Structure 1
Amino acid sequence: ALVDRGADVMARSGVYGLLVLMNASLPLAYTAPAGVKPLVMTGDLVQMAPRRLFETLRFVLEMCVPGALRPGGDGWALTARVRLIHASVRDRLSRSPEWRAADWGVPINQFDMLGTNLAFSASFMQGMRRLGFSYAEDESRAVMELWRVSGHWIGVTPELLVRTEGEGRRAAAAIMVCQEMPDDDSRALVESLLRVPFVPWATQTNRVMSTVYAALSRALIGNVYADALGYPHTPVAPILAGYRVAASASDWRRRSLPAGERIAVELGRASWRTALGVGLGGRPAEFRIPGRGGAVRSKRFLRGRSVPPRVAQAKAGRRTG
């Protein structure tokens, strides 16, 4: 099935995929000042950045398992859980006197959800291409179909979801044009990213790696948004060149070896799960659902596994439950 193929294509990205998620997909998702307000107002994402971000990785990982998005699958159950969380946060913030609807629209609206969906699909592949990886047309369509189905289950209006990488890039560009530039909340979230060890062999992010991450982000998202998000000015060319050499060699081996594709997928999933285990410290991934007077943690379910996690019209938002 096309969705299952997309899951394998995503998973084979391995450590390089983790780097693109952290240094391109998430920063791009944080560029929307209105979109990050629910993250800041309902939780401790800045203070608990490493754990919360590895829970996001758990969400992506669960999407990228063949069969996971079929009704009853783990990924399907996860998206239902996230949809419930969104509905709870949306209701809570809509009634909060601190929520400025005239400025920010409906909390977690269609505009925001579509932007996040595209950050994990079209923008992710664009970042991987910039590192030196290649995607055949059928592979690109498979990844887009994977996230189209995920977006459908999570509550994005079907008419807004796209089927091709080109459509995804155009939709992402339209969203960026329509939103305000990043604010202090966006910059605080990005600063927290630079402290997260997103590779399996690192237990902490030191100053050198933070500099490398900042340079890689600048190379992947461009100077305009890197400046707006507060990334330091660091030498980009040598760092990007080094990653491109290593990534291109890895992609060449995948395409050249008889079992290269299967090996890449298996090693990719293994590296993601290793990074997840290190990042979560062996504890199950959780989401917090805002409740009266605070938040409650999600319960583990589903066979004992833990579950983490056109444009102007979309910005106005539609309630989904």
Structure 2
Amino acid sequence: MNTTPTAPPRPRYDDAALDALCAQGDPLADETVAEMFRRGEVGDLNTLMRFFTTTGDPLPERLPASARAYFEATAMPPSWVDWDLMEQARLFFMDNAAHINTGLSFAAMPATYAVPRIARLLSSTHSLDYPSRRMANTGQFVTYLMRTDSFAEGSTFIPAAQKVRLLHAAIRHHLRHGGHWDLAKDGIPICQEDMIGGQICFSLLVLDAMHRLGIHMSEEGAEAYFYAWRVVGAMLGCDLSAAPRTLTEARDFCDLYLLRNLGPSPEGARLTAQLTRLYEDVVPGTLFDPMVPATVRYLVGDTIGDWLEVPRSAWDTAARAVPVFLGLLETIEDSSPYAEWALDKAGSLLAGFELASLTRGRVMHHAIPAELRPDFGVKPPRTGRWVPPAPVH
């Protein structure tokens, strides 16, 4: 008798499945935030959370009881984590830090802006008045994730993930109870469809961007990087029974998600303009400023580039030559272990410089908003070489 366990069936993604995900939030975090708002404890929590930044630290004594239960329940990574795969993901990140940051900044982030309901949601928060804050938070979060001790005592990643999950729940709470979000049209704000979609944007779309830039990656490295983001998704409240388990499944989900949701919006164009200005400020001098929108357009394509009102210029041709330049660097890197060490070190330093420029050397804290932007109309409630999987036809 064959007792070999069979793999669970491959998830089936269709409009009905994603419609169901669009109606789901994150019960644990949502209930925690609702209780804190009912008790008026959000301000106390934000103050105390600045002193809870590393795994293993005792929770603040005056932490509200509703929040204490949440932090205790989410204090450990999922029990199913494969730590060998996580180490592969960390090494992949170390080898490709600058390229990953480029994919996040110039492809994944603009792609989220091309989803109108996400762009409207992002525009509702105070922090988008300061676009560097979201990029700094994202970059710092990824850096925390890929450290050697990211899940060990004394690490900063798990508390950051716990806070981000509560932040998402707080935004959901405001928008659902403020009467200014079309639940019938857009579903639950930061719904499971968008949470899983965000996990895929920061994994698969980053890998897609690296592939488009001509970066050589092994199949194992790409799968490990995706796996690390699956772990992140679990810690941020994604429903893993519906989330893709492999890059091939991620492609199935991603194709349908983007087909259903991509489109133009004034908020998306505004956010993209803020993003390009931000990175033009990071690049020293002004000579190469036009390369920023040209790189965004090259990585997201002309259709999304036009929706986001990314300007066209003669620099678009230069952006298409980037893979040739990076291919030359990889040839040099493969020529000797010293060249490999030097280029990896340079990439790490470049990624560190970019993050330092965005954070201005500060630690970014995730606070639960007591209210959203007044002009949005929401008032606080009284309560080898990796080849991308083929698209689905």
State the TM-score, normalizing by the size of structure 2. 0.67
Corresponding residue number in structure 1 for 2:133? 51
| 1:35 paired residue number | 118
Q: 1:22 aligns with which of 105, 128, 139?
A: 105
Give the drift of 1:142: 0.8
The residue that corresponds to 1:2 in the other structure is 85
Residue by residue, what CA displacement relative to the aligned partner does 1:121-164 show, whole Å, maximum 9, x if unpaired? 11101101111101111111111111111111111110233233
- The letter for the 2-side match of 1:245 is V
1:258 has 2:337 as partner = yes
Aligned to 2:9: none
Q: Which moved more, 1:137-146 or 1:249-258?
A: 249-258
| AA at the equivalent of 2:172 | R
Are 1:11 and 2:94 matched, yes or no?
yes
The letter of the residue matching 2:99 is: Y
2:248 to 149, 166, 175: 166
Paired with 1:118 and 1:165, the residues of 2 have a C-alpha distance of 9
Distance 2:334 2:251 in 1: 26
Distance 1:198 1:135 in 2: 28
Q: Distance in 2 between matches of 1:73 and 1:86?
A: 22
Contact 1:9 1:139 in 2 (8 A): yes
Tell me the CA shift for residue 198 of structure 1.
7.3
Between 1:87-96 and 1:278-287, the stretch displaced more is: 278-287
What is the alpha-carbon distance in structure 1 between the residues aligned to residue 147 and residue 302 of structure 2?
Answer: 34
1:293 shift after superposition: 8.1
Q: Summarize the alignment of residues 55-66 of structure 1 with structure 2, pairs less than 5 Å apart.
A: 55-66=137-148
Residue 324 of structure 2: aligned partner: 245
CA distance in 1, matches of 2:219, 2:312: 35
Tell me whether 1:291 sits opposite 2:370 in the alignment: yes
Is the alpha carbon distance of 1:287 and 1:216 closer, same or farther for their aligned partners in structure 2, counting shifts above 3 Å? same
Aligned counterparts of 1:50 and 1:3: Cα–Cα separation in 2? 28
In the alignment, structure 2 segments of 5+ residues that lack a partner are 1-83, 375-393
Does the 8 Å contact 2:112/2:198 carry over to 1? yes
Which of 308, 329, 347 is 1:229 aligned to?
308
The alignment partner of 2:181 has SS state of: coil
d(CA) in 2 for partners of 1:261, 1:146: 24
Percent of residue pairs identical: 24
- Where does residue 99 of structure 1 map in the other structure? 181
> How far, CA to CA, are the matches of 1:138 and 1:260 in structure 2?
23
What's the CA shift for 1:83?
0.6
8 Å contact kept, 2:295–2:316: no
In the alignment, structure 1 segments of 5+ residues that lack a partner are: 296-321
Higher relative contact order (CA 8 A, sep 6+): 1
SS of 1:290's partner is coil
Decide whether aligned partners of structure 1 residues 61 and 293 sit closer, same or farther in structure 2, where only a CA change above 3 A counts: closer
Q: Deviations over 1:63-118 (max 9, x none)?
A: 22234146874222221111111111111211011122122211111111112111
Aligned residue-pair number? 291
Q: Closer, same or farther in 2 for the Cα pair 1:84/1:159, shift >3 Å?
A: same
Q: 1-side partners of 2:367 and 2:288: how far apart? A: 30
Give the aligned partner of residue 206 of structure 2.
Answer: 124
Change (3 A) 1:293 1:270: closer
Once the two structures are overlaid, the 10-residue window that deviates more, 97-106 or 250-259, is: 250-259
Task: Summarize deviations over 1:199-245 as a string: whole Å, max 9, x none.
Answer: 97x357x4x54421222122111111111111112346632343112
Q: From the CA coordinates, give the structure whose radius of gyration is larger.
A: 2
Q: In the TM superposition, what is the alpha-carbon distance from 1:266 to its structure 2 partner?
A: 4.5
- Cα root mean square deviation, aligned: 2.6
Structure 1 match to 2:294: 215
